[in-house]
A and B are shown apart, each in its own frame.
Chain A
């Protein structure tokens, strides 16, 4: 069923009786060519691109719960390509280009809104660093504009320009940055993958990975064993547990990152604003809620909820930056489970087990990477060669020293 404005109007006039479930709910077959463990954003986009780019349709996605109920629905939905280092720069640039064509590609409204992202800076040294980052973004083919203090004031007149702790010197504007509707991305990929013949199998938890002679043979699940020639682990948030089923110990520590949303308000914040010095960023959803967050709670956690000290810290930073939000009432807060890698960059690679692939370590940047992560993992699985824009996301880069430390903070998992 194709979606269109005509279709919406027709259904509206005829009682909305024509809508049907947009993907099947198949039982698992005993064998597939290719399995993707994890029915989140990355797993679904991997399955979609395996079918679309490589013509593979004997593919199943195994999801222990329901599709898209993990981190893809627990983030703050920011989409950007403002990276500095080789490895990240080309990858996120590729991802943003895929985002820009995603709605037409999937025939699904993911509400991608390129409202512009502004990273604030607060000293001469930080301005230099942001100018360099902006140049790297432009050289990569993306866009960046260095704003001075008055340039920021013109776009964001409501910031507190009088505060002295972190005086606003200016900002780096990334006009093509913005937000998207997180659930819709998972649903759009699921629908499009299903339409190309991929089996999306829900309530099917993988409990073991079968390996014979160093080669993957299939998986054990709560719905029986399934044989396969290729298996991908795409379960950020539970990567260490699933990889352990194949005897792998990963360079990952899981942390909790909190996010917050207020009651719906009239439009007041037109951009995504990031206040790195205070550990705070904010945007306004299309529904009107102010969506914001800060830094990790800084200790390993799978609780999917955080503690009050970080709540207090984020609120303080928000009030320092924009006192106008002080009267907004907080509706809810939640925590997402972050695969933190030692350099803050992800892993898309083969594993030492032949036929077993790994896509993990997304830190807190996984949402914007959904299209390119699937694109590149599908390329790796289908061709056996890493995609050029993801070639540096190697599993062994920590051992060999080829780290991609975007923040320059060293090898400690929670510092990125």
Chain B
């Protein structure tokens, strides 16, 4: 599985650490209700199909990426820097 890092080009999956769904980008405010924190930390859409998730290029440029991926086929459509991704807060 090759992940197209915007800075390093296509790199082997082994260079990356997977965190989870891109939901982690939408961190609630510190004073948000407990339900918002529960949703942020635990509840997931968990799609069978197209998904966006967070990968860390640990053994490369050390950037956080949002990878667009298919969970059924493992096909990777693209990757963007997490700071510039459309769903970044």
Q: Say whether A179 faces chain B, with CB atoms less than 8 Å apart.
A: no
Q: Say whether A254 faces chain B, with CB atoms less than 8 Å apart.
A: yes
Interface members, chain B 1-59 (any A CB < 8 Å): 1, 12-14, 18-21, 34-35, 38-39, 41-48, 51, 53
For B43, list chain A residues within 8 Å (CB).
249-251
Q: A253-B20, A254-B46 are in contact. Are A300 and B53 (CB under 8 A)?
A: yes
For B41, list chain A residues within 8 Å (CB).
342, 398, 411
Residues 280-305 of chain A, each 1 if its beta carbon lies under 8 Å from chain B, else 0: 00000000000000000011111100
With the chains together, A412 CA to B23 CA distance in Å? 12
With the chains together, A294 CA to B14 CA distance in Å? 16
Query: Which one of A238, A250, A303, A413 contacts B20 once the chains associate, using CB atoms below 8 Å?
Result: A413
With the chains together, A299 CA to B53 CA distance in Å? 9
Report the nearest A residue to B43, measured CB to CB. Answer: A249
For B46, list chain A residues within 8 Å (CB).
240, 250, 252-254, 300
Q: Closest CB-CB distance, A356 to chain B, in whole Å? A: 17
For A413, list chain B residues within 8 Å (CB).
20, 44
For A254, list chain B residues within 8 Å (CB).
46, 48, 71
Chain A contact-residue range equals 20 to 34
For B74, list chain A residues within 8 Å (CB).
301, 303, 307
Query: Which one of B13, B35, B44, B45 contacts A399 once the chains associate, using CB atoms below 8 Å?
Result: B35
For B13, list chain A residues within 8 Å (CB).
307, 309
Q: Are B1's CB and A399's CB within 8 A?
A: no
Q: A251-B43, A253-B46 are in contact. Are A303 and B14 (CB under 8 A)?
A: no
Q: Say whether A414 faces chain B, with CB atoms less than 8 Å apart.
A: yes
For A139, list chain B residues within 8 Å (CB).
none
Interface members, chain A 229-282 (any B CB < 8 Å): 238, 240-241, 249-254
With the chains together, A254 CA to B45 CA distance in Å? 10
Interface members, chain B 48-85 (any A CB < 8 Å): 48, 51, 53, 69, 71-74
Q: A253-B21, A301-B74, A414-B18 are in contact. Are A307 and B45 (CB under 8 A)?
A: no
Q: Are B34's CB and A399's CB within 8 A?
A: yes
With the chains together, A382 CA to B83 CA distance in Å? 51
With the chains together, A414 CA to B39 CA distance in Å? 17
With the chains together, A252 CA to B41 CA distance in Å? 11
Residues 76-115 of chain A, each 1 if its beta carbon lies under 8 Å from chain B, else 0: 0000000000000000000000000000000000000000
With the chains together, A251 CA to B38 CA distance in Å? 9
For B34, list chain A residues within 8 Å (CB).
399
Report the nearest B residue to A243, measured CB to CB. Answer: B46
Q: A238-B48, A399-B35 are in contact. Are A300 and B21 (CB under 8 A)?
A: yes
With the chains together, A254 CA to B48 CA distance in Å? 9
With the chains together, A249 CA to B12 CA distance in Å? 32
For A309, list chain B residues within 8 Å (CB).
12-14
Q: Are A398's CB and B14's CB within 8 A?
A: no
Report the nearest B residue to A254, measured CB to CB. Answer: B46
For B20, list chain A residues within 8 Å (CB).
253, 300, 412-414
With the chains together, A307 CA to B73 CA distance in Å? 11
Query: Which one of A301, A303, A398, A412 contacts B19 once the chains associate, using CB atoms below 8 Å?
Result: A412
Q: Are A342's CB and B48's CB within 8 A?
A: no
Report the nearest B residue to A301, measured CB to CB. Answer: B71
With the chains together, A253 CA to B12 CA distance in Å? 23
For A303, list chain B residues within 8 Å (CB).
71-74
For A307, list chain B residues within 8 Å (CB).
1, 13, 74
For B18, list chain A residues within 8 Å (CB).
298-300, 414
Query: Which one of B19, B44, B51 contacts A250 once the chains associate, using CB atoms below 8 Å?
Result: B44
Q: Closest CB-CB distance, B39 to chain A, in whole Å? A: 8
Q: Are A399's CB and B38's CB within 8 A?
A: yes
Query: Which one of A238, A240, A299, A302 contacts B44 once the chains associate, using CB atoms below 8 Å?
Result: A240
The 3 residue pairs across chains A and B that have the minimum distance between CB atoms: A240-B46, A251-B42, A399-B38
15 A-B residue pairings within 8 Å (CB atoms): A240-B45, A240-B47, A249-B43, A250-B43, A252-B44, A254-B71, A299-B53, A299-B69, A300-B20, A300-B53, A301-B74, A307-B74, A398-B38, A411-B41, A413-B44
Q: Which A residues are closer than 8 A to B by beta carbons?
A: 238, 240-241, 249-254, 298-303, 307, 309, 342, 398-399, 411-414
Q: Which B residues are closer than 8 A to A by beta carbons?
A: 1, 12-14, 18-21, 34-35, 38-39, 41-48, 51, 53, 69, 71-74
Q: A254-B48, A342-B41 are in contact. List 15 more A-B contacts (CB 8 A).
A: A240-B47, A240-B48, A249-B44, A253-B21, A300-B21, A300-B53, A302-B48, A302-B71, A302-B72, A303-B71, A307-B13, A309-B12, A309-B14, A412-B20, A413-B20
